[in-house]
Amino acid sequence: MDQLARPALDLILPPRCLRCGEVVAGDGALCVACFREATFITPPLCHRCGVPFGGDWAEPVAEEAAGLLCAACARRPPPWHRARAALIYDDGARPLLLAFKHGDRTDAAGALGGWMARAGASLLESADLIIPVPLHRTRLWRRRFNQSALLAAAVARRARRPWAARLLIRAKATPTQGGLGAAGRVENVRGAFRLLRPERVAGRRILLVDDVLTTGATLAEGARVLRNGGAAAVDVLTLARVMRENGESV
């Protein structure tokens, strides 16, 4: 939304909580009660995949300096360089992500992008270009907007970094990933993306943005295509991430 148009619109439509619909003050995406329900990811966390470690979360450590690594990343490094997310995808986060994606609440992109910019500050510092995970044009037409592109634009604005929505495209209309297992998801997105102008990513550090990291299959395929196109490194930033029951990274 045009920033200049915002104050006038607020007089007619006061901002509402993305989770419960209550009127909220300022441009916050959540009311106080829903904000408390959301699980924001804070250090200490795995340097590579960004999974938060248990224990005393009130005692943050500089993860870059400590270089903490989770067991899953020590066993098998992720297909991207680093990943970060603002929220755990739990009962606190699910309604707000669904409202953003399907409920015409694109007005919340700025606030959500602010959370992401904070969570991904260390990634943004070294990012040359921000690229959203694309939707296929038929789905874009049905949904009218790509939620990942809205988040990428909001993050780019906060961090004053360039972003590009039409370099990585979805060449194949794949069925939705919902309901598929981990192996099915990998198979489903194989060959789904195409990089249109590889010279724009060659030798550069790319930050790939999506709304949720579930199994990571979609982001891994996007990262693979960008690396094949010559990207120096690919980091991943999402609004939320799924955690396994045992707290391990997905």
Q: Within a 10 A sphere around the Cβ of 39, how many other Cβ atoms? A: 17
List binders of Zn ion among 55-74 (CB under 5 A): 70, 73
Q: Is 15 in the site for Zn ion (CB under 5 A)?
A: no
Q: Smallest distance from the beta carbon of 21 to Zn ion, in angstroms?
A: 7
- Say how far apart CA 192 and CA 220 lie, in whole Å: 12
DSSP state of 150: H
Q: Is 213 in the site for Zn ion (CB under 5 A)?
A: no
> How far is Cα of residue 38 from the mean position of the Cα atoms in its chain?
16
Q: Smallest distance from the beta carbon of 51 to Zn ion, in angstroms?
A: 5
Q: Torsion over CA of 116, 117, 120 and 125, rounded to 10 degrees?
A: 160
Backbone angles phi, psi at 223, to 5 degrees: -65, -40
3-state secondary structure of 193: strand
Q: Smallest distance from the beta carbon of 67 to Zn ion, in angstroms?
A: 11
- Say how far apart CA 149 and CA 133 lie, in whole Å: 7
Q: Is 96 in the site for Zn ion (CB under 5 A)?
A: no
Q: Is the dihedral of CA 157, 114, 32, 93 positive or negative?
A: positive
Strand partners of residue 237 = 84, 209
Q: Is 18 in the site for Zn ion (CB under 5 A)?
A: no
The residue (of 41 and 195) whose beta carbon lies closer to Zn ion is 41
Cis amide prior to 44 (ω within 30 degrees): yes
Q: Is 38 in the site for Zn ion (CB under 5 A)?
A: no
Q: Smallest distance from the beta carbon of 210 to Zn ion, in angstroms?
A: 18
DSSP state of 247: S
Q: Smallest distance from the beta carbon of 191 to Zn ion, in angstroms?
A: 27
Q: Is 45 in the site for Zn ion (CB under 5 A)?
A: no
The residue (of 44 and 132) whose beta carbon lies closer to Zn ion is 44
List binders of Zn ion among 101-140 (CB under 5 A): none
Cα distances from 118 to residues 15, 37, 85, in angstroms, run: 22, 19, 9
Q: Is 249 in the site for Zn ion (CB under 5 A)?
A: yes
Q: Is 153 in the site for Zn ion (CB under 5 A)?
A: no
Q: Which of the stretches 33-41, 96-104, 185-193, 231-239 binds Zn ion when contact is defined by CB under 5 A? A: 33-41
Among 29, 41, 45, 46, indicate the residue that binds Zn ion (CB under 5 A): 46
Q: Smallest distance from the beta carbon of 137 to Zn ion, in angstroms?
A: 34
Residues that bind Zn ion (CB under 5 A): 17, 19-20, 22, 31, 34, 46, 48-49, 70, 73, 249
